[in-house]
Structure 1
């Protein structure tokens, strides 16, 4: 498995707009082979800037690389380039090969929902 993460430094006064942009977007990730999950993570509100991270899990690094070369990727990022900047600088990308994954039993996951 492969984890792709982007870290964003968002101006505190732009945090609500940043969150709305992500929460209201029309994502096509679910259409991509090898895509497993996406999460948008938010750091503590007390900090300036507010740190966010996008997290995607892919079956293989090659699946992520295919997404990064896809028309869907270009379209999603072209839309972002046309918006008013909400973050300080460009996002910082980090990619990770998964060496170990531990999961809670299904009963524990169901209880948390």
Structure 2
């Protein structure tokens, strides 16, 4: 299995707007071969740094299944408006990918 994560720093006060973008996006993840599940995680606001951390976390059968999605029309559609809300981001998202070594 493969876990794909994007870490976001969202300007404090824009959390609900960021969540709304995700909840209302044109997502067809479930239609992609090898997709297992998705979660959007919200961390504790770092008031002294002015942002709230979020992680988009998707689980795939394999790294290859994830890579195939990133070159698909579904991916392009889901990310079509990604640049529309730049004011709510503290820098670009940071991608991390992990192969599952052990799990239940």
Tell me if both proteins adopt one fold, taking TM over 0.5 as the criterion. yes
Q: Which runs of 5+ in 2 are unaligned?
A: none
Determine the structure 1 residue equivalent to 2:12.
12
| Corresponding position of 1:53 | 55
Instruction: Give the distance between the partners of 1:74 and 1:92, measured in 2 at CA.
Output: 18
Q: Which TM-score applies when normalising by structure 2?
A: 0.91
Whether the 8 Å CA contact 2:26–2:77 is kept in 1: the answer is no
Between Structure 1 and Structure 2, which shows a larger proportion of helix residues? 1
Tell me, in whole angstroms, the C-alpha distance in 2 between the residues paired with 1:89 and 1:28. Answer: 26
What does 1:72-87 align with in structure 2 at a 5 Å threshold? 72-81=74-83, 83-85=84-86, 86-87=88-89
The normalised TM-score by structure 1 is 0.84
- Pairwise CA RMSD of aligned residues? 1.1
2: CA distance, partners of 1:59 / 1:96: 12
Using a 3 Å threshold, how does the CA distance of structure 1 residues 78 and 25 change in structure 2: closer, same or farther?
A: closer
Structure 1 residue ranges (4+ consecutive) displaced by more than 6 angstroms after TM superposition: none
Structure 1 unmatched ranges of 5 or more: 103-113
Instruction: Report the number of matched residues.
Output: 101
